[in-house]
Structure 1
Amino acid sequence: MYSNDTIAAIATAVGESGIGIIRISGPEAIAITNQVFEPKQDKDLNEVESYTAHYGHIVEEEQVVDEVITLVMKEPKTYTKEDVVEINCHGGTVVLRKILDLILNQGARLAEPGEFTKRAFLNGRIDLAQAEAVADLIQSKTEASMEVALDQLEGGLSDQVNDIRQDLIALLAHLEATIDFPEDEIEDFQSEELGARIDTVQQKIDDLLATSERGKILKEGVEAAIVGRPNVGKSSLLNALVREKRAIVTDIPGTTRDVIEEVINIDGIPVKIIDTAGIRNAENQIEKIGVEKSEEYLTKAELILLVVDISDGITDEDKRLMRDAQNKEVVVIANKLDLEHQLELEKIKEILPEAAIVKTAAIANQGINELEDAIANLVYSGKINAQEETMVSSLRHKKALERAKENVSDVKSTWEQGLPNDFLTIDLRAALEAVNEITGDAVGEDIIDQIFADFCLGK
């Protein structure tokens, strides 16, 4: 078991709500609760059935603090594999803090961030990949990212990683047996069989790695900067995308002086839309700072939504911005479709031959669906379905798989050179160690602490 002490924390978000939950886990969880909980029907929580709810009051020196429902869950079939009690009380900050203080005064310790899930991992209920998926599930920005996290929490990624792990163990065990027990005349692999088995492992690793880019996008989202000259309709475009009047829109050039950010969901992709100041030679100091920020986002954003005024045609300033965006993923938005057209599309294609071009009238919400489709197609090449397969969404997992792939590649190279089995086992062990890092079978305490430090209190 992870520890002999008992931990407690508020498990619900800070603020006022109808219900708040205080979670307690550890060997003294039930005994501590007995000291502060007075059930409506006289009973000892140690004697009740597991997974039962009990109505009563939290009291301090016979003074009622709150009316509560107490859930009792007895080890080992609990989230942490320890005794767990959850007190459902009213969701006011003062009430929650008061009840937590009473529990801590009875001998519990305030839980560290993520410590409940950390105990679940260290007590063997879930592996490290599943534990990380808990945080991803809580932080999901879209339904698609939630589905990826839920698949990982239910063991989808762990199952595939363990499949690779078992293949590596089988190879390693057989090769080491031929080295350690030559007198037993253990049959060595036929050359073709060994090569085929190495290829199989390599393909399984490649298949997982192929999902990492999409998995990362679903988890972290994409940063898209709206850039363009002043008064081409950037703020109107932002308002149309977020479906509300988020930015001020006027006919006066240079209205937007600062960066405005909003996160929207486009076909399951969390997209952070950044409305920037119009880029021009500004004389006003405040506008000049805004323009500098716009140019910064033009450089660093993953996706550029470059807005041009369809009624003006392509100006020299538009061409400069297109040239600045040549090495980026770009969607050109020909805005103000409702006005007389002066746009020459071939001039855009001369500078940005790969860019998608969408015509809109942002102020009238025309062309917005087509713009969202263009963004989704650009980001995902038209493939968006988180339910199709298990995805790798963690950078830590991706790096571990890349190391495993490199090690397996070295195994194949060594085998092709006809070197002895001793050389093969060195790289196989390294590949196995890399794969084990994903599920936590071989990972340092410092990495474990770092992973759980990013969790919220009470989880």
Structure 2
Amino acid sequence: MKQTIFALASAQGRAGVAVIRVSGSQSAEVVRLLLGRLPKPRFASFGQLKAGSKLIDEALTLFFKGPQSFTGEDCAEFHVHGSLAVLDKLYAVLRDLGLRHAEAGEFSRRAFENGKLDLTQAEAISDLVEAESEAQRQQALTQLGGGFKARYTDWRARLIVILAHIEALVDFPDEDIPQSLSDRITADIAQLKSEIADGLQDSQRGRQIREGYRIAIMGKPNAGKSSLFNALLQTDAAIVTPIAGTTRDVIESPIRLGAYTALIYDTAGLRETSDLVESEGIRRARLRGETADLRLWVIDSSEPFEADLYDVIKGDYLIANKADKDGEDSALDIFAKAKGLEHYHTDLMQGTGLETLVSALQTHLERSLSLNTFPAATRERHVERLREVDAALTRALQIGFDTPELMAEDLRQAVSGFDALFGRTDVEQVLDHIFSSFCIGK
């Protein structure tokens, strides 16, 4: 039997109220010993918590009878005053009663092990706790509520039906396979593979919502990159000087743009240099630019525009900084229009043009990270498993019905890929489906 565990469920530090969570077989006994009674499950009860005859605190206490609890075990919560003294005393009493302080994520792990959550939902709990933007909150709640699980379960269920048909064909090798049946099975596999491929293609959007949309500020030294970085953050996070090469490394900071979180990167100015430290900073700047979701090229419009110095690609933004006028006939404007690039004019010293740029960035994120539909994957683990499923389906289609045994084996591997997504293995369901869907003895 697992040891009963406890941990602080609210934030660390002094607060008006702190919540101590307990989970395990001793939960009911602990409540009786501290409160003097066991409240009706799922109802809050106010009373004094005592260790023997000594008062610990006055608190609200809740008891949850397993399996109708978060972890599936008997659970309790003590809502006490949030001082360090109260918490230290309650911790000491719980340890004296034989309880153990929970390890990181142990409550969610017990919920998973007891079938209250699958792995995708357990991951969503972590994402919800870490959510800083409205988009992250909505995506995490969708995943926690079973939105991802429903899609994966549908794909897996359809795959099991396909596999059940092929298993039946393997069991009756002397029977001719009707062409209509083989065509239907092939079409079903192809359709499922197409949907999974669409999910894989859209997986980057899930990462961008969950981790933040990566925006790299690029350009030559003294163009105004750090000034733009500070202006977007509305703080002096990066050092700004007239000395070229001031920024030597990539500086990162999160920023809220509407419902979304972005990660803004200030990078070293791009130029030829013999300085080893600055060269390393430039190397890192180029690498950050290659992995960014969006690049903002800051250009000093008081200097002659040299298009060949900028490795711009479609989708990049050009920011003409130090602009005296919002000209539409400058070399930069002509270059941007020819390349089909978004371009904006700012004077960061005067604070002009920034509002327009921020609005454009917010619109860009709303268009790129639409909340109308949520992606099929938010973590690399999801992507890896879906790629395994996609590869198995590809092999099955290539093998075809010439060797149905090998075809079935690849489909079983695809089912295992979904089971790995959920954190379980359940091959017996294939047999259950065969016996419930086919009259084998006929």
* TM-score class, shorter: 0.7 to 0.9
Task: Flag the 1:277–1:177 CA change in 2: closer, same or farther, 3 A.
Answer: closer
Report deviation, 1:413. 1.7
| Aligned residue type for 2:385 | A
2:32 to 31, 34, 38: 34
Task: Flag the 1:184–1:8 CA change in 2: closer, same or farther, 3 A.
Answer: farther
Cα distance between partner residues in 1 of 2:147 and 2:176: 39
| Aligned residue type for 1:432 | V
Report deviation, 1:140. 1.9
Cα distance between partner residues in 2 of 1:140 and 1:277: 30
Map residues 294-443 of structure 1 onto 2, 5 A cutoff. Answer: 294-301=282-289, 302=292, 303-314=294-305, 319-320=308-309, 322=310, 325-326=311-312, 330-338=316-324, 343-345=330-332, 348-349=335-336, 353=339, 355-372=341-358, 374-375=360-361, 382-415=367-400, 418-442=401-425
Cα distance between partner residues in 2 of 1:338 and 1:57: 70
Deviation track 1:335-354 (CA, whole Å, cap 9, x = no partner) reads 1234696951167559x936
Cα distance between partner residues in 2 of 1:338 and 1:68: 64
Is 1:235–2:226 an aligned residue pair? yes
Map residues 46-57 of structure 1 onto 2, 5 A cutoff. Answer: 48-57=39-48
Task: Name 2:431's counterpart in structure 1.
Answer: none
| Runs of at least 5 residues in structure 2 that lack an aligned partner in the other structure | 427-442
Task: Flag the 1:363–1:180 CA change in 2: closer, same or farther, 3 A.
Answer: same
How many residues are treated as equivalent by the alignment? 422
Report deviation, 1:27. 0.9
Q: Larger relative contact order (C-alpha < 8 A, sep ≥ 6)?
A: 1
Map residues 110-129 of structure 1 onto 2, 5 A cutoff. Answer: 110-129=101-120
| Runs of at least 5 residues in structure 1 that lack an aligned partner in the other structure | 444-459
Tell me if the contact between 2:27 and 2:74 (Cα under 8 Å) persists in the aligned partners.
yes
Cα distance between partner residues in 2 of 1:98 and 1:282: 61
Cα distance between partner residues in 1 of 2:377 and 2:326: 48
Task: Flag the 1:6–1:171 CA change in 2: closer, same or farther, 3 A.
Answer: same
Tell me if the contact between 1:218 and 1:268 (Cα under 8 Å) persists in the aligned partners.
no
Task: Flag the 1:95–1:124 CA change in 2: closer, same or farther, 3 A.
Answer: same
What is the DSSP-based 3-state SS (H/G/I as helix, E as strand, rest coil) of the residue aligned with 1:52? coil
Q: Which moved more, 1:405-414 or 1:180-189?
A: 180-189
Task: Flag the 1:101–1:184 CA change in 2: closer, same or farther, 3 A.
Answer: farther
Cα distance between partner residues in 1 of 2:314 and 2:77: 50
Tell me if the contact between 1:133 and 1:152 (Cα under 8 Å) persists in the aligned partners.
yes
Report deviation, 1:371. 2.7
Alpha-carbon RMSD across the aligned residues, in angstroms, is 3.2
Deviation track 1:386-433 (CA, whole Å, cap 9, x = no partner) reads 242354111111111111111112212222xx4132122011101111
**TM-score, normalization by structure 1:** 0.81
**TM-score, normalization by structure 2:** 0.84
Task: Flag the 1:186–1:62 CA change in 2: closer, same or farther, 3 A.
Answer: farther
What is the DSSP-based 3-state SS (H/G/I as helix, E as strand, rest coil) of the residue aligned with 2:317? strand
Is 1:203–2:189 an aligned residue pair? no
1:131 to 109, 122, 126: 122
Task: Flag the 1:229–1:197 CA change in 2: closer, same or farther, 3 A.
Answer: closer
Task: Flag the 1:270–1:124 CA change in 2: closer, same or farther, 3 A.
Answer: same
Task: Flag the 1:277–1:411 CA change in 2: closer, same or farther, 3 A.
Answer: closer
